[in-house]
Structure 1
Amino acid sequence: MNKGSSLFKRAVLFTAAIVSTMVVVALLANLFLFNRGGGAMPFVWSALSGLCAAGLASYPLLKLLILPVKRQLRALRDVAVAVAKGDLDARADERMTGELGQLGKALNNLSYQLSRNMYLLIIERNRLKHMLNGLSEGIVAVNAKGRITHRNPALEKMFEAHRSASGRGERMKLIPDQGVWDDFDRVIRDGEVIARNLEFPERVLRIVISPLIDEIGTTAGAVGLFSDITQLERLERTRRDYVANVSHEMRTPLTAMRALIEPLKEGMVATEEMRMRYYDIILREIMRLSRLINDLMELSRLQSGALALQAERMKLGTIVADVCERYQAIAEDHALHFEAHADFSKVPPVVANADRVEQLLVILLDNAIKYTPEGGTISVDAAWDDARVTLSVKDTGIGIAPEDLPFVFDRFYKVDKAHSGMGSGLGLSIAKELLRWMGEDIWAKSEKGVGSEFGFTIRRDRSEA
């Protein structure tokens, strides 16, 4: 204890008062009461008298010198207990003298620093919580015992359709797949990252589970990141199919041409009639290969923005009539019925590019003929309102399944893999890109086994309105 402190001075003063009281009383008792007679008894009685007097004097001295300190210490203790229980607004009286005032000031400073750090931690926690809740990926964390400590809404949404109310335990109610939780337990036990795919009929999830390592190097739990890679998997599958389709489309005419050119080179084709037949087949295969390459280049120009589209006022009647007349003959060659449901001469003028409108109709009619069996019907129709004209092509073909319908306009996507030789699968993608650049829309309606209907919009010319 510091000798200059108030507590030290109080202790010295209390001790001196007690000792002096005892000595004075003992001397007075010996002098006036027990000075007669000899031996040691007078001194003993004098000492006892001094002790009694010291005892009697200690109470008022304690009340005067020590009890105020006790009350102040109790007040400091109450503040410390309140802070320990989380009441960071509790404050000690800094007006106390000496060490107690300094202790009160230190306690208040500690409370302030704790309050400030707690405030910063709460802000950081809320910021982290908002970040996790805003992620499209699912997050779940568990402690060393495998109990769930954190989760975010994206994770709950991912497994919402697969969650069962009868799931046993909190973990199975959140993610109803025991294999996933076995992976979490393995990561906690081995301290190694596990990454794998979790496949459902309608989606594919990528799971990466990593251990949480504390400051002393032990595994304190694990955190799992769940990413929906359904679109990526579908895109990758589509790319693989596209490469296979394009390779097949290119290899087929090249193989045919090689098979025909080699006999011509070797002089094995004896008659002029046979040579001309070979030349016709070679020309058809070359045109087929040229169409595929043109489609690829067209789509590339559209997607790169390198294609200029000139829009002008035009009437659809002549263009649509010419296309219908051309495809009337093609439909008859395929044993199909062709119908025009609208009087296209009455369709109001539009603002568009004539060549591109014709190209769009050709794409839709080609698809309708490819996927409509003999005896089916193909029809072309038009409708309009104050803003736009809608041209539509309807067929009674094989139709499109509901799960395939959202992807029919994707690049290289083919609904019917059995008809993979019937074009490159780029036509509808080109149509969608063309209409996007024109500021228009294209849509599809279909029922499996019944037929399909495709339509696109064209802006009306309002200059005469």
Structure 2
Amino acid sequence: MQTRMQAPKAGAARWTSCTRNIGGPVDKSRTLRWQLYVSYVAAIAISFGTLGWYAASSLKEQAFRDAAETLESQALLFSELLKREVEEGKTGQAKQFYQAMGSSLKSRITITAADGRVIDDSHEDPSRMDNHAYRPEVKKALAGETGVSQRYSDTLNAMMVYVAVPVVQGGRLVGTVRVSRPVGYVLGSLASIYVGLLVAAIAAIVIAGLPTVYFSFRIGKLARQLEEAATRFADGDLSRQIEPPLWQEFTGLAAAINRMAEQMRERLDALNRRKLELEAVLSSMVEAVLMVDNEERLINMNQAAIALFRPRQTEFAGRNFLEVIRNTDLQGFVKRAAASDAPIEEDIVIIGATDIHLQAHGTALRHADGHRMGTLIVLNNITRLKNLEQIRKDLVSNASHELRTPMTAIKGFLETLRDGALDDPEAARRFVEIMIRQTNRLTSIIEDMLTLSEVEKTSHKGSLRMERVELSSVLHAVQKEFTPLAQEKQIDLQVECEPGLSARINEQLFQQALVNLVDNAIKYTGQGGKVRIVCRREREMTSVCVEDDGIGIPREHLSRIFERFYRVDAGRSRKMGGTGLGLAIVKHIAAAHGGDVSVQSSPGAGSRFCIHLPTEASRS
């Protein structure tokens, strides 16, 4: 069967498309493994970065605190020296000492008076320096407190840490001592600590990243396995299942996907069974079945429809109805069926070399929810019924005509006799002879009709009694029966039969068929002609033929010669006593034996009528 069931596949197509897109070129930045790795490493880096920032900030603050304490200690030491200078009246005379100490301690030492004026400085000429009374640290020291500040020094062009302490002599503020260092020197000791922290952080990130790489690889591999399984499922391969992974979370997912695949397989199997059942039903139907959608595009057609219309296209699903089946009458019926909610029925004739009569039924094709999806057309080929009906009509008409003709003649002569012809003995005798001939003709017609009916009935019931018979004996019996008539017309009647050829036949009926054929051959063969009864094995058939060199039959009559009451020349046939049923009887007797008949003839060249018996009915 060549029906093509178009089950809905839109969802499956989308799923397949999605899964196949996954298998295309992969953007590495979007892979699960890469995103997991980046996420874990970023989290670790942020954690260590935050920890490092906090540690660096704490160390920096501690460094500044330590530096401030160191500078304060130095400032207090120099403040004691300043006090001695004040006692001895030698202020401003220890510049070299301050320079040496500042160089040794990596610090800058500045001595100011109580008014903020610079008295001495280890790095600069005091006379060239501004009053420091408004410097933050000095200002605080002049107020009697220790001053600490961090700011840019215009003198040294560097960020500095300043610590200033007041110098009190005899309960009186006599000046300040300020000690400072560059920030870079303060933080220089932290550089190695920062490098160590950075190296430790990098090592920690690398060490922590290794398990991340491993687990992300495992998760990525599992994701690929799930992807491959989903792709197989989308492609229809539901036989292979996913192996349970090690992680419990994914074990449940794999089990769920396997259950889904099993359910899909069961449903697909059920759908396939239903599809095969539907295909079997459609293919076994002798009716042509067509399904069209609401736009008059073909959805499906069964094998009977394909054999009936023989479309040029092998793929017809989705094509316009008229594009595949070029018949406007049928298309009009499809339109009317599509426009009607109720089933409709019409008779359609497809005109061709042999007209095809169709009984068309159209009804709506609906989804389970009642929505109309198209129209179902069922075409029943009633050509044989129409032909049988026509044959019945012709039979009734012909039988009536054949019976009416002798009856009319008999009635006419009887009325003539009643009206006075009885008084004329010679005319009455002639009329009676005519009525006897017409009565005999009427009897022959009735007998042939009864014979034909009996043959048909026996053939249909399959109760024909047959036995194996030597065919040569049947042929010679027929020859013997017609020898007087053949001699009367000086016709050479011959029998040719292969020795030992036999067949399973009903001898009486088969002889009746040969009698009809030989009778016709002698009737339509002129004086001095030849008639042969030939029996031979031909391929898979055994053929018994009656050949003559008579008047022959025109070609246009050969296709109907075996019909009941059909005559090539009605007047001549009646004149020779034919009933018009002889060849019909021959055809039905051949059919009752499982065979058939054939004829070859042309005007003036004679005729050849054959009865063909199947191989299983014959044996040489």
The bucket for the TM-score relative to the shorter chain is 0.5 to 0.7
Q: Tell me the secondary structure at the aligned position of residue 555 of structure 2.
A: coil
Kept in 2, the 8 Å contact 1:392–1:454? The answer is yes
Q: Does 1:222 align with 2:375?
A: yes
Q: Tell me the secondary structure at the aligned position of residue 608 of structure 2.
A: strand
Sort the Cα spacing of 1:251 and 1:140 in 2 relative to 1 into closer, same or farther, 3 A.
same
- Aligned match of 2:308: 158
Sort the Cα spacing of 1:116 and 1:359 in 2 relative to 1 into closer, same or farther, 3 A.
closer
What is the RMSD of the two structures over their aligned residues, measured on CA atoms? 5.2
Which of these residues, 393, 400, 425, is aligned with residue 272 of structure 1?
425
Q: Name the amino acid aligned to 2:404.
A: R
- Aligned match of 2:553: 399
Q: Tell me the secondary structure at the aligned position of residue 397 of structure 1.
A: coil
Q: Name the amino acid aligned to 2:354.
A: E
- Aligned match of 1:339: 491
Over the matched positions of the two proteins, sequence identity in percent amounts to 23
Q: Does 1:202 align with 2:354?
A: yes
Kept in 2, the 8 Å contact 1:400–1:452? The answer is no
Matched pairs, number? 396
Kept in 2, the 8 Å contact 1:350–1:458? The answer is no
Sort the Cα spacing of 1:264 and 1:180 in 2 relative to 1 into closer, same or farther, 3 A.
same
Kept in 1, the 8 Å contact 2:596–2:612? The answer is yes
Kept in 2, the 8 Å contact 1:141–1:222? The answer is yes
- Aligned match of 1:379: 530
Report the CA distance between 1:108 and its aligned residue. Answer: 2.7
Instruction: Extract unaligned runs of 5+ from structure 1.
Output: 1-24, 34-59, 332-337, 460-464
Q: Name the amino acid aligned to 1:184.
A: V
State the alpha-carbon separation in 2 of the partners of residues 293 and 449 from structure 1.
32
State the alpha-carbon separation in 1 of the partners of residues 223 and 496 from structure 2.
101
Sort the Cα spacing of 1:82 and 1:164 in 2 relative to 1 into closer, same or farther, 3 A.
closer
- Aligned match of 2:586: 431
Which of these residues, 601, 609, 612, is aligned with residue 454 of structure 1?
609
Which of these residues, 288, 291, 294, is aligned with residue 144 of structure 1?
294
Which of these residues, 263, 273, 279, is aligned with residue 123 of structure 1?
273
Q: Name the amino acid aligned to 1:158.
A: L
State the alpha-carbon separation in 1 of the partners of residues 546 and 323 from structure 2.
48
Q: Tell me the secondary structure at the aligned position of residue 423 of structure 2.
A: coil
Kept in 2, the 8 Å contact 1:340–1:380? The answer is yes
Larger Rg: 2
State the alpha-carbon separation in 1 of the partners of residues 370 and 442 from structure 2.
63
Kept in 1, the 8 Å contact 2:531–2:549? The answer is no
Q: Name the amino acid aligned to 1:143.
A: D
Q: Name the amino acid aligned to 2:555.
A: A
Sort the Cα spacing of 1:320 and 1:418 in 2 relative to 1 into closer, same or farther, 3 A.
closer
Q: Name the amino acid aligned to 1:426.
A: L
State the alpha-carbon separation in 2 of the partners of residues 125 and 286 from structure 1.
66
- Aligned match of 1:251: 404
Report the CA distance between 1:290 and its aligned residue. Answer: 0.9
Q: Does 1:325 align with 2:476?
A: no
Kept in 1, the 8 Å contact 2:533–2:547? The answer is no
Q: Deviations over 1:131-150 (max 9, x none)?
A: 53455543332222221222
Report the CA distance between 1:218 and its aligned residue. Answer: 3.2
State the alpha-carbon separation in 2 of the partners of residues 421 and 127 from structure 1.
57
State the alpha-carbon separation in 1 of the partners of residues 510 and 232 from structure 2.
78
Sort the Cα spacing of 1:376 and 1:440 in 2 relative to 1 into closer, same or farther, 3 A.
farther
Q: Deviations over 1:429-462 (max 9, x none)?
A: 3234445667887542124685422145899xxx
Report the CA distance between 1:164 and its aligned residue. Answer: 10
Instruction: Extract unaligned runs of 5+ from structure 2.
Output: 1-53, 63-207, 615-619
Sort the Cα spacing of 1:318 and 1:219 in 2 relative to 1 into closer, same or farther, 3 A.
closer
Q: Deviations over 1:17-52 (max 9, x none)?
A: xxxxxxxx9xxx9xxx9xxxxxxxxxxxxxxxxxxx
Sort the Cα spacing of 1:103 and 1:137 in 2 relative to 1 into closer, same or farther, 3 A.
same
TM-score calculated relative to the size of structure 2: 0.50
Report the CA distance between 1:212 and its aligned residue. Answer: 1.0
Q: Deviations over 1:41-97 (max 9, x none)?
A: xxxxxxxxxxxxxxxxxxx9xx8xxx99x9899789858964884566475676677
Q: Does 1:283 align with 2:436?
A: yes
